[in-house]
Chain A
Amino acid sequence: MQFMLLFSRQGKLRLQKWYVPLSDKEKKKITRELVQTVLARKPKMCSFLEWRDLKIVYKRYASLYFCCAIEDQDNELITLEIIHRYVELLDKYFGSVCELDIIFNFEKAYFILDEFLLGGEAQETSKKNVLKAIEQADLLQEVRHLIKITPN
């Protein structure tokens, strides 16, 4: 996978993760172009499109579009599954996730994604393991906080 973008129906970017080194300018250009293309598609259309030399796989969940760019030989269906799996993880973590959860806790959304994908490859296929890792890391953060707060 080359990159993943989350954006709203209004075209506002909510999350971006790039697995290929690109300059900020290029990233912005690609984002703008793709958001436009995907939003222009009709709801009944299939989730795949050919874009430059990449394949774009996107799916809409409520008001959010999840959009991934994969290479020619990659499997579109497994990419859809990755998107779905990520949505499930967000849902489990936030408890029935909505767009606002991701806006206000965007760093958490990144942490979850980083536990699930690494360098563009799925690193953990088990939902349970991902969530366990996140919760433990959060706890670690929490414990340290409590320790830090108490002396104050």
Chain B
Amino acid sequence: MALKIVKGSIDRMFDKNLQDLVRGIRNHKEDEAKYISTCIDEIKQELKQDNIAVKANAVCKLTYLQMLGYDVSWAAFNIVEVMSSSKFTYKRIGYLAASQCFHESTDVIMLTTNQIRKDLSSPNQYDTGVALTGLSCFVTPDLARDLANDIMTLMSHTKPYIRKKAVLIMYKVFLKYPESLRPAFPRLKEKLEDPDPGVQSAAVNVICELARRNPKNYLSLAPLFFKLMTSSTNNWVLIKIIKLFGALTPLEPRLGKKLIEPLTNLIHSTSAMSLLYECVNTVIAGQYWFSVGSKELCVQKLRILIEDSDQNLKYLGLLAMSKILKTHPKSVQSHKDLILQCLDDKDESIRLRALDLLYGMVSKKNLMEIVKKLMLHVDKAEGTTYRDELLTKIIDICSQSNYQYITNFEWYISILVELTRLEGTRHGHLIASQMLDVAIRVKAIRVFAVAQMATLLDNAHLLTGNMQRNGICEVLYAAAWICGEFSEHLENPMQTLEAMLRPKVATLPGHIQAVYVQNAAKLFATILKSQEGNTDSTAAQDTSQLMIDRLPLFVQSANLEVQERASCILQLVKYIQKLQQKDVEVAEEVNALFAGELNPVAPKAQKKVPVPEGLDLDAWINEPPSESESEDEQPKAIFAKEEPKHSRPRHTEVDEKELARRREARKQEQANNPFYIKASPSSQKVYQDAPGVEHIPVVQIDLSVPLKVPGLPMSDQYVKLEEERRQKERAEKKKKEKKKRKEKRSGRGKKHDSGPESEEDITPAHQVDIVTEEMPEVKENHSSKFSNIFFLHLLFWVCDDKKSSKHKKKKQKKEKEEKEKKKKKKHHHHHHHSDGGGEESVQNGTVEEEEPLPVSLSHRLINPQVVYDIQGNLQDGSQVVVSVIFENKCDSFLKSMEFNVLDSLNSKLQRPEGSGPHDGLTVPFQLPPGVSNEARFVFTVQSIVMPQKLKGTLTFIVKVDSSTHEKLDFKLHFTCTSYLITTPCYSDAFAKLLESGDLKGSSVRLEGVNMPFHHLLARICFHHHFSIVERIDSCASMYSRSIQGHHVCLLVKTSGQTVSIDAKCDEPTLLGNVLDEIKQTFSQC
């Protein structure tokens, strides 16, 4: 044979040829790299020789090494040398090496243009062929431009061998040099009718690929292709033509009508699966459903594919079936049996495809059955990946379109509970979110859900074998929350409470413990309520004692959330216990802590919130990205059609994309939030995408005891129940029908169809609570506490506008509340004293009422720790701004309000120039009923070392039928802490400050402070505007600064219940007052 002779001749001529190299590499498995590096050295020597045969041999060896992953780019020039050899043997090797090693950035390619042109026009067709083949691999835009004409000429070469290669390579040329398409196209079209089938098929290939990129330009060729399609018998060509028509039909719908007949003929007649598959796919993609029977034909053929023993056909059949499912779920549903069979397939990729299909196939009727099958598979499944996939699919299937297909939620809860038995799943949070979602939205299910969750909590130890890594413990999060929130449904709340406070709970992840603690408090409240009715008061006290005994475990938790909640609740329970010992009934108040119901929020609810004035949602917050990425830098569009994409203004595109992205992000966020009603079932996918989850190693524990939670109902019983229920319904229906028929018998005996019931006939056992439009109305329980007709908030803070926005929000919220309250009240008594002031948290000042008035005052010193205005546009530390919110709570119109304060020597209300020292300031607005508004008053303060109380009055006219003058007295309390500004300080600066010796010391002791040290510090920070400089164990240094620049340093130490504060400040009076105020804060608690 020719090959052997060639081999022999090369063998004789060289020391080491390719075969020797390969053999050598195989013999040097241990030190392959070393061997190859010596070979490369040899090759470098060989390349230096003048003998072209030696060079060609070296290049051939290099090509092999290149495949092994070695860099041979240094030999590019030698490759060009070998390509230029006049001998075909070497030329062939040279071109092969070039096609494997060259790419667009290889610079020697520029040198090859003339050589390639020479080879293209060689009289030897194999020279030309080899050049064309090589060119197809390394053609660059330059080469394409320079050689386009030569190749075009070759398209009309006498030899079909050259013609077909030239036609195919033209496609690569078009890609690199789009300008060549126009002149070459007529000739390309001509080749569609070439006498040689190879050339013809090549032309079809090229045009099909071109048309896939830009179908519009090739519509005119449709008749020609139609002719080819009906005449050709070459399956390769037919597949390409059908693909081409697939691209054309969306532009010209009439083509579809013409095509459907030959397509169905092919589907019926062909024995080639590839062609059949192509036809079916085209029919599906083209939506040729207008043709009678085409859908049935496709589904039927796909069924044959799926039934085939060949895995490949099965897979493709399922893939195509899922495409039909998107538009015609009904026609696929009838093949449910077949799809379910595929779940047993040994090939995982086929099983996953089948699962995808099932998702779209469920209906109210078959949901339970399908899920039951899936549950069986869950038990059988090997490997956690597939089992997890099954789990997510089960939940996907059940929860899709707002649980549209679930008729019995007890069944669904049981399914979820059964799923918790899965070992090592990482979808615990998915199950948990479903439990929460269902329990919140399906009111009727709560009793059942609570009972189930209580059992789960009781048996938590079974789920939590090897806790930390086990994702399933997430369900305890849901279980605890549901038991707490809906605790009124618990049968044995005491038992659940004990389960939630077991020491083992402390091994759960922090966020779950936090929910445990919080919900233990809710349970506690419920239990108190039931126990207080009894004559035996010890039971209630025992419950409190249980809480007090168990909670400290959580107070010690390393998790901040757990710690904080636990210590908060512990204090609360201790207080409750004190009250209980005095026989005070507390259950009511404790329950009020958790009163109110959580309502789901409709996705559209946001629309109901008006956009605040002055907020332009479309305006850019930051400068839009510049359009500097100029268009001429972009690579030239390959085909005409791609141009519009580039010429579109850049920022609008970004805008749209960005909008879509944001919308998507928002949807996902909503989907994750159990209080949003999901518009789509996409929520589950979010979890799958969670980064890195798959990298978490899942430890499989081999438990000899089956992991079954006792006492849980099997979901199967619901399937039976459901069947019975439906049968009953059907029977009843039949009865009715019979009756009707009996009644009608005298008339026409029309036969009634008592066949399978329709979807609508299946009545759900539970209804999902779906809030579509309305926002839940805010429930207002406290309205009775406010019988005042006029509401005045005084807000003071040291001048700074930056912070005012924060307080405005609060204010708005408050106003809203007030208005709501107002609505509820129809009638008010004018002279009614109120305790409204007590509602507000007293922070740093007090407004004292002089006498009972038709007005109630509430105030808060919002933001005294504001940054002092550094720009100096205000006089140095001597100004304080007091903001006052006036709210009219009566039914009358208030006007001519005047605000006046009796100035002291130290603090003066700033009045406009020309007015006397006792004139009041007119409030610049009037108040219609129910309206509130804010006014600011500037005070000049000279010394800030002493607290101050200023007396003031507000006069106004109430306009009912006749106008009456009214007066309201108040006091403004400027505390010393309100002059302090939270200022961070580094420990070294702090140390320097203390060393400087300018500061004078003072100290104070607080006795009986019963709170954790960090809470104490937090309290000082919050109420007195200090920042912590450093904290070491039970000792902390703190710092603050007054608006006039006094430094205040504290050293806080605690031992037992005694707290000692050593303080230093450059102003002893100020310090003394601040310490007094701190002392007062802690005496209040």
Contact = CB atoms under 8 A, between A and B. Distances in A.
B35 interface: no
B133 A118 contact: yes
Interface string B301-325: 0000000000110111000000000
Contacts of A76: 277, 312, 316
B44 interface: no
A142 B2 contact: yes
A128 to B, nearest CB: 11
Nearest to A76: B316
B311 A46 contact: yes
A125 to B, nearest CB: 5
Contacts of B212: 73
Interface string A110-152: 1100110011011111100100010111111110111011000
The residue in A18, A76, A77, A115 that gathers the most chain B C-beta atoms within 10 A of its C-beta is: A77
A53 to B, nearest CB: 15
A107 B67 contact: no
A121 B209 contact: yes
A57 to B, nearest CB: 9
B910 to A, nearest CB: 69
A60 interface: no
Interface in B91-146: 92-93, 96, 99-100, 103-104, 124, 126, 129-130, 132-133, 136-137
B67 A13 contact: yes
A133 B348 CA distance: 43
A91 B124 CA distance: 28
B2 A138 contact: yes
B-side interface size class: 35 or more
A16 B126 contact: no
A107 B6 contact: no
Interface stretch (B198-206, B681-689, B834-842, B949-957): B198-206
A75 interface: yes
A102 B99 CA distance: 18
B205 A121 contact: yes
Contacts of A148: 53, 87
B905 interface: no
Contact of B161 (A105, A121, A133): A133
A140 B236 contact: no
Interface string B386-398: 0000000000000
Contacts of A114: 96, 99, 133
A44 B172 contact: no
Nearest to A113: B133
A106 interface: yes
B9 interface: yes
B9 A48 contact: no
Nearest to B135: A119
A57 B589 CA distance: 70
A21 B103 CA distance: 7
Contact of A46 (B243, B246, B347): B347
A140 B93 CA distance: 13
Interface residues of A, number: 58
Given A76-B312, A123-B168, A45 B239 contact: no
A98 interface: no
A118 B316 contact: no
Contacts of B60: 107
A103 interface: yes
A123 B347 contact: no
A28 interface: yes
B234 interface: yes
Given A45-B348, A48-B316, A76-B312, A124 B22 contact: no
A78 B161 contact: no
B286 to A, nearest CB: 13
Nearest to B72: A24
Interface string B1033-1059: 000000000000000000000000000
Interface string A39-57: 0001011111100000000
B64 interface: yes
Given A46-B347, A78-B274, A125-B236, A138 B6 contact: yes
Interface string B344-364: 001111100000000000000
A141 B312 contact: no
A107 to B, nearest CB: 6
B18 interface: yes
B311 A45 contact: yes
A149 to B, nearest CB: 6
A110 B96 contact: yes
Given A13-B67, A123-B198, A141 B88 contact: yes
A80 interface: yes
A23 B103 contact: yes
B136 A119 contact: yes
A145 B92 CA distance: 13
A140 to B, nearest CB: 5
Interface string A50-93: 00000000000000000000000101111011000000000000
B621 interface: no
B274 A48 contact: no
Most buried by B among A46, A103, A111, A133: A46
A24 B43 CA distance: 21
A84 B171 CA distance: 25
Nearest to B136: A119
Contacts of A145: 5-6, 9, 89
Given A49-B349, A129-B198, A144-B87, A77 B103 contact: no
A28 B172 CA distance: 23
A80 B315 CA distance: 14
Given A107-B63, A114-B133, A46 B239 contact: no
B69 interface: yes
A34 interface: no
A118 B22 contact: no
B171 A121 contact: yes
A122 B89 CA distance: 25
Contact of A77 (B171, B277, B314): B277
B347 A125 contact: no
Contacts of B69: 13, 28
A18 B274 CA distance: 24
B6 A142 contact: yes
A139 B136 CA distance: 24
Contact of A118 (B126, B168, B197, B278): B168
Contacts of A107: 18, 60, 63, 93, 96
Interface in B188-213: 197-198, 201-202, 205-206, 209, 212
B445 to A, nearest CB: 39
Contact of A144 (B89, B136, B169): B89
A122 B67 contact: no
A24 B89 contact: no
B347 A45 contact: yes
B721 interface: no
Given A75-B277, A119-B172, A122-B205, A138 B3 contact: yes
Contacts of A115: 133
B71 interface: yes
A15 to B, nearest CB: 7
Given A77-B274, A137-B126, A48 B18 contact: no
A104 B168 contact: no
Contacts of A124: 164, 198
A114 B164 CA distance: 13
B593 interface: no
Nearest to B347: A45
8 contacts: A48-B316, A108-B3, A119-B169, A121-B168, A121-B209, A125-B236, A133-B129, A138-B3
For the complex of A and B, the 10 pairs showing the least CB-CB separation, nearest first, are A77-B274, A46-B311, A46-B315, A119-B136, A141-B89, A78-B274, A114-B133, A118-B168, A121-B205, A45-B347
Interface of A: 13-16, 18-19, 21-24, 28, 42, 44-49, 73, 75-78, 80-81, 103-108, 110-111, 114-115, 118-119, 121-126, 129, 133, 135-142, 144-146, 148-149
Given A42-B348, A137-B129, 4 more contacts: A46-B314, A46-B347, A114-B99, A121-B171
